Amino acid sequence: MTSTTSEPDRLPVSILTGFLGSGKTTLLSKLMHHPEMDRIAVIVNEFGEVGLDDALVMESNEDVVLLNSGCLCCTVRGDLVDTLKRLFKDRAKGNIPDFDRIVVETTGLADPAPILHTMMADPFLVTRFRLDGVITVVDAHHANQQFDTQFESVKQAAVADRIVLTKIDVTDAETVAAVEKRLYELNPAAPVIKAIQGDVAPSVLFDAGLYNPKTKSADVGQWLREEAYRATEGHVHHHDHGHDHGHSHDEDHGHHHHDVSRHDDHIHSFVLYFDEPLEWNRIAGALDMMAQTHGANILRIKGLLNLKELDDDQPVVVHAVQHMFHPPAKIEKWPSDDRRSRLVFIVRDLEKKTMESVMNSYLALEFA
């Protein structure tokens, strides 16, 4: 089991995602010219897509551009792992200016999960970088249509730690409100930041992860935000009872037929609590079994565990994206007096009772 004591030494990485035409590139261009971005490296697929202004480019080589804001822009050469390794090594050697944060832009159709898996699984990256969070850009003007027709756009919003809502200046207030409502139901814990022409302060987008650089410690409450998920467990689903049961509700709820096809009606979140301390082998086995059997429909799991094997004041943090778990991390203290283990789930077409059944059967199992 790893510890967060080395967190300050690991570089934070933010994933910037969003559907085609959402305004992601406009946001990125504005960020790269911002004075607060002077120690940030941005990884993009193509320089041309970002539209770098020649007047802002101080120096450039084949795949790295230094802007006069101090921001470093780098293109993916090979795969992301290679690019991150190369950036890290060039920084260590002094071949490029120093930076203390990385932003990775995905393509518009990209599922963020494979990038998150890369950040969680590669041994080089795990020990040198930490995932700060997923920033998803959503186009208020087209979001409702995209959510209905493109599941990837729903998934991008559901796994986000921060959501940037764009094009609000060219979208009527009723539509913006409807999009905000859907975003809240999809992802109640992610703050929604409204942006016009990509104008957002970097400070509101970053430091969304477990480690808080201001306090130089783990901020579990901010990262887990279980109260937000718990608050929506009951009331969000009243209007279409059981939308988490797949398509079985078509007949009973024909009057909601316009809602039945909506992709976001298949995604919801919930929190499981465990009153007694858990044995690591059992909870790890249960989570592994869950990931193997339901991984495709588990978008994200975040958890805080009270383990029998550890000191009572040192909980363990777990984090998974679909079937892939980040190495568990021991943190120094509990965020409150509530010492129950808790797991936040964001799922697609899975019922809370199914997850409870898997956990309970595994945790109650007597090992030889």
Statement: residue 173 has pLDDT above 90: yes
pLDDT digits (tens, 9 = 90+) for 192-203: 999 988 888 888
φ and ψ at 315, to 5 degrees? -75, 165
Select the more confidently predicted residue: 249 or 161. 161
Q: Which residue carries 């261009």 as its tokens? A: 29
The CA distance from 148 to 258, in Å, is 10
Statement: residue 244 has pLDDT above 80: no
pLDDT digits (tens, 9 = 90+) for 91-119: 999 988 899 999 998 875 677 888 888 88
> Any alpha helices (H) in 129-256, and if so which ranges?
143-149, 151-158, 173-186, 220-224, 226-235
Tell how strand 129-139 and strand 11-18 pair up: parallel
Q: Minimum mean pLDDT among 116-125, 161-170, 208-217, 224-233: which range?
A: 208-217
Q: 141 in helix, strand or coil?
A: coil
Q: Minimum mean pLDDT among 34-43, 165-174, 244-253, 308-317: which range?
A: 244-253
User: What is the token pair recorded at 318?
Assistant: 């777990």
What is the pTM (predicted TM-score) of this model? 0.82
- pLDDT score, position 239: 33
Rg of the Cα atoms in the chain: 21
- pLDDT score, position 85: 92
The residues of the chain that CATH labels 3.30.1220.10 are 222-244+256-363
Select the more confidently predicted residue: 44 or 8. 44
User: Whole-number mean pLDDT of the chain?
Assistant: 81
What is the topology classification, in CATH, of domain 2-218?
Rossmann fold (3.40.50)
The CA distance from 354 to 357, in Å, is 5
φ and ψ at 81, to 5 degrees? -60, -45
The residues of the chain that CATH labels 3.40.50.300 are 2-218
Which residue in 368, 341, 355, 367 sits closest to 286, CA to CA?
Answer: 355
- pLDDT score, position 47: 72
Confidence of residue 243 (pLDDT cuts 50, 70, 90): very low
Q: Minimum mean pLDDT among 6-15, 170-179, 258-267, 331-340: which range?
A: 258-267
What pairs with residue 316 in β-bridges? 305, 330
At the top level of CATH, the class of 222-244+256-363 is alpha beta
Q: Minimum mean pLDDT among 25-29, 213-217, 311-315: which range?
A: 213-217
Which residue in 138, 180, 177 sits closest to 155, CA to CA?
Answer: 138
DSSP-assigned letter for residue 26: H
